[in-house]
């Protein structure tokens, strides 16, 4: 028999588990040849802040935490300015999905699909019809994931102060 698969909000009691998943994802990105998440971001503090803001969600498989994702219903200021393109509904409210990661023992089982579907549904239920996400040009896993969910690449956004912090930006309009 299978286990229940569902999502719940993370609590501070989950911070160690969330941090372990993020650390493991950093290693995977490095092995994939990407410098995304290799310079200290996301930090343990940023994950703690996501939890405290009630924006960090956990993917559960039975009673085991197997993934995490952040949904910012009020959007992320990094997405206000886009280069080499434009948002379809610029100026409209948007949510941002960030920091999706699956623990190493559960990769390849399409669990990221549960995270995406649930976070999109939560945004929709909260009245948000524009959802944005960005990723490093070498992060093929996320590029494929968002395209499979109907996100359209709109341009690029800066997620930090340097040219190394530019990311491909995607948007889903519901």
Residues 5-52 pLDDT 10s: 999 999 999 999 999 999 998 888 888 888 788 777 888 999 999 999
Instruction: Give the CATH number, domain containing residue 91.
Output: 3.40.630.30
What's the average model confidence in pLDDT over 94-113?
92
What's the average model confidence in pLDDT over 72-76?
92
* Per-residue confidence (pLDDT) for residue 1, from 0 to 100: 58
Report the number of distinct structural domains present in the chain.
Answer: 1
Using the 8-state DSSP alphabet, how is residue 26 labeled? H
115 CB burial (10 A radius; 0-12, 13-18, 19+)? buried
pLDDT for residue 162 is more than 80: no
pTM for the full model? 0.93
pLDDT for residue 155 is more than 80: yes
* Per-residue confidence (pLDDT) for residue 116, from 0 to 100: 97
Host domain of residue 84 = 5-173
* Per-residue confidence (pLDDT) for residue 157, from 0 to 100: 95
The chain-wide mean pLDDT, for the chain, equals 92
pLDDT for residue 100 is more than 80: yes
pLDDT for residue 123 is more than 90: yes
Contacts for 28 with CB less than 8 Å, ≥ 6 apart: 104, 107
Confidence of residue 4 (pLDDT cuts 50, 70, 90): very high
* Per-residue confidence (pLDDT) for residue 170, from 0 to 100: 97
Q: What is each CA distance from 5 to 57, 99, 113, 145, 167, in whole angstroms?
A: 13, 19, 11, 19, 31
């Amino acid at each position: 028999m299978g286990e229940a698969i569902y999502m719940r909000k993370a609590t501070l009691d989950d911070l160690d588990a969330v941090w372990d998943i993020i650390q493991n994802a950093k290693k995977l990105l490095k092995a994939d040849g990407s410098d995304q998440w290799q310079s200290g971001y996301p930090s343990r503090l940023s994950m703690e802040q996501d939890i405290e803001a009630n924006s960090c969600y956990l993917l559960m498989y039975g009673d085991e935490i197997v993934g995490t994702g952040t949904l910012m219903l009020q959007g992320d200021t990094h997405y206000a300015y886009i280069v080499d393109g434009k948002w379809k509904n610029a100026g409209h409210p948007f949510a941002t999905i960030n920091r999706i990661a699956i623990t190493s023992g559960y990769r390849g089982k399409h669990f990221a699909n549960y995270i995406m579907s649930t976070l999109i549904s939560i945004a929709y239920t909260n009245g948000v019809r524009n959802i944005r996400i960005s990723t490093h040009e070498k992060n093929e896993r996320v590029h494929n994931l968002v395209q499979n969910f109907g996100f359209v690449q709109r341009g690029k956004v800066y997620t930090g102060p340097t040219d190394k912090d530019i990311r491909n930006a995607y948007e889903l309009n519901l």
